[in-house]
């Protein structure tokens, strides 16, 4: 088997690994640094990110945008490697960035290829080698260095960076074990759940809403408690709810066996205001079909689904509605409840919630507390962020921090 000796081996050519390699080589000009990637090319997830526009960070990032087993490392990164530092770095290697009104930062060209290209150009300029089509099976300590066992070669390195990403391997639509490398060095993985994905719901009515988008508020109710709410565009599909606001609840929902999503189609109105509105609309609609109550307010199919969920005959005349039926309908509009189905399907998830315990790394250097000269960065760790550039911010900032340690 071929043996390669290097100073530092970065396992995983994603956002974290590529950033780490760029920064590490800057400080180690004469040392051999390699990025080992099992796919046929590096950075595939960067290319699909942000609908191929790559929302690379968010200038409004706060600790509240993250979910992790320990907040020390994320806090340290936000203080020392904030979004502006990531933007400045990208600008320094040729990427012009532009933020939108929500603070989401994209390349000016709105092309994810631009982000990957500037990183790869920098790697090339500095002389980092990409070793693709190379799957790392395990890493073992051998004296003062590490033996990195790949399918077809052995790489011996003084320093090892594990940047193997999460369980979701969206770009390839294949779910793979990206934790085995860290596990081979004694690290432990927390429970893994798909996050930033559509939420399947147990509803016979949802099919009739396929393709409809509505503005509103969604809340996750776990074991009877409202735990998180988000506003935005709610998208209905054959069996699920999606849209960024739903994505941001999905991690919590997929962790629970007893979760509901409450949809509020008129979040700015109180229950009493919705009831008053319904009485006014009943008066206006008169003897016309009850479905006309929603004309000018909601999509027609949403109106029908609301009536059905409120157990109201859809062929009734509006003025035949009883007070109790109006009350029920107002309740449904105010809080439309969908029972969520817990999902273990990572194929459609943007990120993995859970990962290698962050307590197993030093929060200021991301060096393993189990093995000296081994570092972990990016999504392989138990850190996931909301939708909006926060996950790439974590991947780039942790990669940059580790790169500076090498
Ligand atoms: C569709 C989609 C859209 C997204 N959009 C955004 C967005 O706009 N903004 C945002 O902030 N986040 C977004 N994300 C999330 C973000 O892309 C990830 O959190 C981030 O890319 C993680 O980077 P990483 O380097 O840690 O992991 P990855 O990008 O997953 O990289 C890990 C790499 O390691 C390689 N690897 C794994 N195991 C091995 C092994 N044993 N041997 C060799 N190589 C190995 C993998 O092939 C992979 O290339 C999106 C994700 C998806 C799927």
- At 118-157, the pLDDT tens digits run 999 999 999 999 999 999 999 999 999 999 999 899 999 9
DSSP reduced 3-state for 23: helix
Residues with CB under 6 A from ligand 1: 11-17, 36-39, 45, 48-50, 54-55, 135-136, 163-165, 170, 178, 181, 350-351, 378-379, 389-392, 395
Strands (E), 152-242: 153-162, 193-195, 199-200, 213-222, 225-236, 240-242
pLDDT value at residue 77: 98
- CA 110, 89, 380, 21 torsion: positive or negative? positive
Query: Does an H or E element contain 336, and which?
Result: strand 336-339
In angstroms, the CA 106 to CA 272 distance is 42
Placement of tokens 């909006």 in the chain? 388
- At 48-65, the pLDDT tens digits run 999 999 999 999 999 999
- The ligand 1 atom at the shortest distance from the C-alpha of residue 399 is 25
What mean pLDDT do residues 75-103 have? Answer: 97
Query: Does an H or E element contain 181, and which?
Result: helix 180-183
What residue ranges of the chain are covered by domains with CATH 3.50.50.60? 2-194+347-405
* Ligand 1 centroid distance, CA of 351 (Å): 8
Which residues sit opposite 58 in a β-bridge? 104
What is the DSSP code string of 26-67? HH-TTS-EEEE-SSSSS-HHHHHHHHHT---EETT--GGGEE
Q: Are 368 and 376 in contact (CB under 8 A)?
A: yes
Q: How confident is the model at residue 175 (pLDDT cuts 50, 70, 90)?
A: low
* Ligand 1 centroid distance, CA of 125 (Å): 23
- The ligand 1 atom at the shortest distance from the C-alpha of residue 384 is 19
What mean pLDDT do residues 235-243 have? Answer: 95
- At 277-336, the pLDDT tens digits run 999 999 999 999 999 999 999 999 999 999 999 999 999 999 999 999 999 999 999 999
- At 330-364, the pLDDT tens digits run 999 999 999 999 888 888 899 999 999 999 999 99
Q: Checking DSSP bridges between strand 2-11 and strand 199-200, what pairing results, if any?
A: unpaired
pLDDT value at residue 148: 97
Q: Provide the Cα torsion 137, 143, 145, 148; round to 10°.
A: -10
Q: Which of 187, 104, 138 is nearest to 354 (CA)?
A: 187
Domain 2-194+347-405: CATH class, spelled out: alpha beta
Q: Are 37 and 176 in contact (CB under 8 A)?
A: no
Nearest residue CA, atom 31 of ligand 1?
14
Question: CA angle at residue 215 from 213 to 219, to 5 degrees?
Answer: 105
Q: Are 191 and 354 in contact (CB under 8 A)?
A: yes
In angstroms, the CA 19 to CA 47 distance is 15
In angstroms, the CA 284 to CA 294 distance is 11
Q: Is the pLDDT of residue 171 over 70?
A: no
DSSP reduced 3-state for 309: helix
Q: Is the pLDDT of residue 170 over 70?
A: no
Q: HSE of 23 in the Cβ direction (CA atoms, 13 Å)? A: 23
Q: Checking DSSP bridges between strand 33-36 and strand 2-11, what pairing results, if any?
A: parallel
- At 192-236, the pLDDT tens digits run 999 999 999 999 899 999 999 999 999 999 999 999 999 999 999
Which of 178, 242, 352, 353 should be mutated for ligand 1, with most atoms under 8 A from CB?
178
pLDDT value at residue 172: 54
């Amino acid at each position: 088997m071929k043996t390669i000796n290097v100073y530092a081996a970065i396992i995983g050519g994603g956002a974290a690994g590529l950033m780490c390699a760029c920064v590490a080589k800057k400080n180690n000009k004469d040392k051999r640094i390699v990025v080992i990637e099992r796919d046929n090319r590096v950075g595939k997830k960067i290319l699909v990110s942000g609908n191929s526009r790559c929302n690379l960070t968010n200038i409004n990032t706060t600790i509240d945008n993250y979910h992790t087993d320990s907040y020390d490392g994320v806090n340290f990164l936000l203080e020392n490697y904030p979004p502006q530092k990531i933007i400045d770095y990208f600008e320094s290697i040729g990427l012009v960035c532009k933020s939108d009104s929500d603070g989401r930062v994209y390349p000016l060209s709105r092309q994810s290829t631009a982000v990957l290209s500037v990183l790869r150009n920098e790697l090339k300029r500095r002389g980092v080698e990409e070793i693709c089509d190379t799957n790392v099976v395990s890493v073992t300590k051998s004296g003062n260095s590490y033996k990195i066992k790949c399918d077809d070669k052995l790489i011996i390195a003084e320093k090892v960076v594990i940047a193997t990403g999460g369980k979701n391997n969206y770009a390839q639509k294949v779910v793979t074990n990206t934790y085995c490398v860290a596990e081979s060095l004694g690290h432990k993985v927390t429970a893994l759940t798909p996050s930033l994905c559509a939420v399947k719901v147990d509803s016979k009515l949802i099919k009739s809403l396929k393709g409809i988008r509505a503005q509103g508020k969604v809340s996750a109710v776990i074991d009877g408690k409202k735990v998180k709410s988000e506003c935005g565009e709610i998208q209905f599909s054959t069996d699920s709810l999606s849209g960024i606001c739903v994505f941001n609840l999905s991690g919590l929902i997929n962790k629970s066996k007893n979760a509901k999503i409450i949809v509020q189609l008129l979040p700015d109105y109180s229950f009493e205001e919705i009831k008053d509105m319904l009485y006014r609309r009943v008066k206006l609609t008169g003897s016309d079909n009850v479905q006309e109550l929603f004309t000018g307010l909601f999509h027609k199919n949403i109106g029908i689904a609301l009536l059905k969920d409120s157990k109201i005959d859809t062929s009734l005349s509006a003025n035949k509605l009883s007070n109790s039926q109006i009350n029920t309908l107002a309740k449904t509009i105010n809080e439309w409840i969908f029972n969520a189905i817990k999902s273990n399907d990572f194929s459609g998830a943007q990120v993995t919630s859970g990962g290698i315990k962050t307590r197993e790394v030093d929060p200021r250097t991301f060096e393993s507390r189990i093995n000296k000269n081994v570092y972990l960065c990016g999504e392989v760790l138990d850190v996931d962020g909301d939708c909006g550039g926060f996950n790439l911010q974590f991947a780039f900032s942790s990669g940059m921090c580790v790169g500076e340690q090498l």
